[in-house]
Amino acid sequence: MNAATSTLPANQVSFIDQFDSHGAWRREFAARLKQLADWLGNYELMDASIAERMQQLEAQMRSDKVMVAFVAEFSRGKSELINAIFFATYGRRIMPASAGRTTMCPTELGWDGDVPPCLRLLPIETRLQSQSLMEWRHAPEKWTRIDLDVNDPDQLATAFEKVSEVVKVSKDEAKALGFWHDETPDDNPRQDTQGNVEVPRWRHALINIAHPLLKQGLVILDTPGLNAIGAEPELTVSLIPQAHAVVFILAADTGVTKSDLSIWKEHLITEDTDYSSRLVVLNKIDTLWDALSTPEQIRAAVDRQRRTSADILGLPENQVIPVSAQKGLVAKVMADDALLRASQLPQLEVALSEGMMGQRKKILQSAVASSIGELRTEISRVISIRRRDLHEQMMELRGLRGKNANVIKHMRSRIETEQAEFDASGQRIHAVRSVHLKLLREVFTALGTSTLRAELRQLNDALRQPGIKLGARKAYAQTFDRLRDIFVHTKQLNGEIHNMLATSFRQLNAEFGFSLQTPREPELARYQNDLEAVERSHAQYLGLGNAFRLAQPEFADRLVRALATRLRVIFESALGEVELWNKSAASQLDAQLRERRKNFAKRLEAIERIQNAAVTLDERIIELDSQDAQSVQLDTKLVKITDLLMEAPDLPGDGNEDAISQFPDTAVAAL
């Protein structure tokens, strides 16, 4: 076999190796974060805001999903590529990859430990009903379920063949399901002698298996061809845009065809697309392996097709990877290193690991550094309050040296008076909370489910008007204008809350010696950016080319349901950030009120012990000095722990393993 070969650099690891290391790091980080939470609890440094922030971060690290979407027109070798990268260890094909059409419905492979290994299939007829795909996920009784034996490759492969099933329906039924369009006859499926056409039997498939990579949070999305993609708006405006990486597969013998280019332009590229998350696979290079050609001629032919494809798609040439998935799978199963090099599959694995995993690393680094930094600030503030109260007690007690019993008795009376005045201030603090909650309710209403539902109902009504929807783009634009106004209004309300808290906190600090600091306003810009991205992803359906589709109420309904799925995530995420911001302010006030009450109790206890001769004045001062020294140690150890946690997002292999591995010994265990 004449084939151009290349060797994988020794210092580079495959996608599978790097993902495996990444998953191990995430689990270890989550465990260490839990240790930090336990330590904070032991020293009474955990309040509601800190606890929730840590729970969110821990949940993110444990359940963080990485989705890779494989997209291609039919017969490009997409399922074979998935077999070669992820399932070669089974020693055979697991995903159906025979000649002709294979994956007929969108298929997600992932792992949920609460669900037994199984294949769940959603009947195609559910498209005729109003629920979105996301809603159907919460109706397990509507899915056909097949239990899987993960130790039996043959049983797995037989079960997975279900995603290739088709059913024959009439032309009218195909039209209602979204697979027949009179205005684009060339794209319609072929009719048989009875006038029936083949459509996918299933609308969506969920495969739940305990594959090592899937258990670590990888989700694989295997998509069907152009006809099926266009018929399921939720796939293109929700699932694919949320993928962290998209692998687009072409055939080396045909290059970029018209239908390939349609998928690329209409479904994979928008104005805000991060091109680094798009990899193009020029598959089936083995079709260019010609016994009558020299290796140099074969290499030149592959390189020429690679350059041409990159130029047509507007990508750098290094993001078009020539491979032979079929030969790569055979090579892995047969342990044939020479054939594996010739398939160039390792180069694709490196591109996936460096590109996709690099992006995930940056995102996690940012999230961890920001969250841990804010945690440290809040916890340090609690420790500072404790130290300030200790210093006040020490100054108070040192002032009693050489004084008689009457002076000490008077001191007790003064502390009790201060405590009574502090308790009486509860009404003012309650008033602050009332105003705070009133403004907060307005924010919750603005970003709430009922507001979003009303906006989408208005859009749906506009799209249901009779006739061809030439005004669909205008209806969408008006809807998104109103949604943007909601975020503008929310930002104004947040500003009012921030100003009110700042004024109230200054007054409380002045009157009671608190050290309250107004939390930074939540950053809503990224959710507004998400809103813009959703609008752009829907724009592909609003041109003249889809006017006939939009004239069908069923298609318009599916489009709005797909929109609702993504908007709900954006609004709920924004609301969650606002809620956490407000909890941070409330918890800060609660923590300082709690510490102040403890301080009064400790001061009275100290005076009482001195009066009863249970402890001398000097002994009590020594106790306070010791407690202050312990507080300094707490702050120092907190900095060490959080420093290690903030450094941790560097993936294994980046040189930080030693620092991370020291965490239990130098931080938690020492405490």
Mean pLDDT of 574-589: 82
Rg (CA), the chain: 31
**Could you give the CA distance from residue 379 to residue 367 in angstroms, rounded to a whole number?**
18
Tell me the pLDDT band of 18, cut-offs 50, 70 and 90: low
**Could you give the CA distance from residue 227 to residue 599 in angstroms, rounded to a whole number?**
71
Predicted TM-score (pTM) of the model is 0.68
Is it the case that residue 364 has pLDDT exceeding 50?
yes
Is it the case that residue 654 has pLDDT exceeding 50?
no
Mean pLDDT of 652-671: 37
Instruction: For residue 202, list its beta bridge partners.
Output: 123
Mean pLDDT of 43-72: 77
pLDDT given for residue 174 in this prediction: 86
Residue 438, burial from CB neighbour count under 10 angstroms (0-12, 13-18, 19+)? exposed
Complete DSSP assignment for 351-391 = HHHHHHHHHHHHHHHHHHHHHHHHHHHHHHHHHHHHHHHHH
Instruction: For residue 255, list its beta bridge partners.
Output: 251
Instruction: For residue 220, list its beta bridge partners.
Output: 68, 109
Tell me the pLDDT band of 635, cut-offs 50, 70 and 90: confident
Is it the case that residue 406 has pLDDT exceeding 50?
yes
CA distances from 274 to 103, 265, 532 (A): 27, 14, 15
pLDDT given for residue 283 in this prediction: 94
**Could you give the CA distance from residue 249 to residue 71 in angstroms, rounded to a whole number?**
6
Question: Between 111 and 656, whose confidence is greater?
Answer: 111
Residue of 524, 652, 569, 579 lying closest to 239 (CA atoms): 569
Averaged confidence pLDDT in the chain: 79
What six digits make up the tokens of 528?
């507004």
Question: Between 66 and 663, whose confidence is greater?
Answer: 66
Among 67-76, 381-390, 509-518, which range has the highest average pLDDT? 67-76
Q: How far apart are the first and last CA of the chain?
A: 64
Residues comprising the chain, all counted: 671
Contact 94, 157 (CB under 8 A): yes
Is it the case that residue 210 has pLDDT exceeding 60?
yes
% helix, strand, coil for the chain, step of 5: 65, 10, 25
**Could you give the CA distance from residue 381 to residue 419 in angstroms, rounded to a whole number?**
23
Contact 193, 39 (CB under 8 A): no
**pLDDT tens across 455-478, in order?**
988 888 887 776 655 677 788 888
pLDDT given for residue 45 in this prediction: 81
Contact 444, 488 (CB under 8 A): no
pLDDT given for residue 649 in this prediction: 42
Q: What are phi and psi of 208, to 5 degrees?
A: -115, 105
**Plot region of 510 (φ>0 → left; ψ -120 to 50 → alpha; else → beta):** alpha
pLDDT given for residue 660 in this prediction: 32
